[in-house]
Amino acid sequence: MQKLVRGVHKFQANYFAKHKELFHQLATGGQAPETLFITCSDSRVVPHLITSAAPGELFILRNVGNVVPPYDPANAGATTAALEYAVCVLNVANIIVCGHTQCGAMNALLDPDRLRELPYVSRWLRHSARLRDLIATRYTHLEGDGLLTAAAEENVLVQLEHLRGYPFLARALEEQRLQMNGWVFKIATGQVFDFDPESEEFVRLGEVKSAPPPPAVR
């Protein structure tokens, strides 16, 4: 706790002191973030650090496994409320679903025995239960960290699919007021991979694909 208190003092003496005008604008003008960033509660994933975003730039939704429950108006919870507020009130232009490597939630989905003593986590992860079938069907050749990374990637795609089922979000996508991306953060290297719909692969963010060589002249 004392470390956190010292951190608050350091923040006030350094970062806040240098950015007083920014915080004044945020306090008086409200927030206008461009991006809703949906990610895991894992302490190793720090959205502002990964993206170098300033205060006020990201509207962040965090939960175990960066899960978006399928649309169900009769059982809407905190995640649905955050989505609605971000899209309908803040008018965010981007939604990013960001998974990560070595994710405990993915480990639990692959090995349900880990959830025997965690009934609430188990209930929450049922929203991604079909991920087990995807992994069992497509990734029989993988194991260990490779399998866990594949699970994190597929989980991001499942959540993007769930998002498209929300009427207010589907409408924003159709009107081209909103775009969505799926990311995976690799903790060990700091790299971020973005899903490319054309290649159907996760490509390192910022990586420029080389153009194919011109045909040979005959």
What is the domain partition of the chain in residue ranges? 33-204
Distance of alpha carbon 171 from the chain centroid: 21
For 179, phi then psi, to 5°, come to: -130, 155
Q: Which of 6, 9, 19, 40 is catalytic?
A: 40
Cβ–Cβ < 8 Å for 203, 193: yes
Supply the pTM of this predicted model: 0.90
88 is catalytic: no
For residue 129, what pLDDT is reported?
86
177 is catalytic: no
SS3 185: strand
The rounded distance, in Å, linking the Cα atoms of 124 and 133 is 17
24 is catalytic: no
User: 115-171, pLDDT tens digit by residue?
Assistant: 999 999 999 999 988 888 888 888 888 889 999 999 999 999 999 999 999 999 999
CATH architecture of the domain with residue range 33-204:
3-Layer(aba) Sandwich (3.40)
Q: Which residues of 175-208 are buried (b: 16+ CB within 10 A; e: fewer)?
A: eeebebbbbbbbeeeeebbbbeeeeeebeeeeee
48 is catalytic: no
Percent of the chain with pLDDT over 90: 78
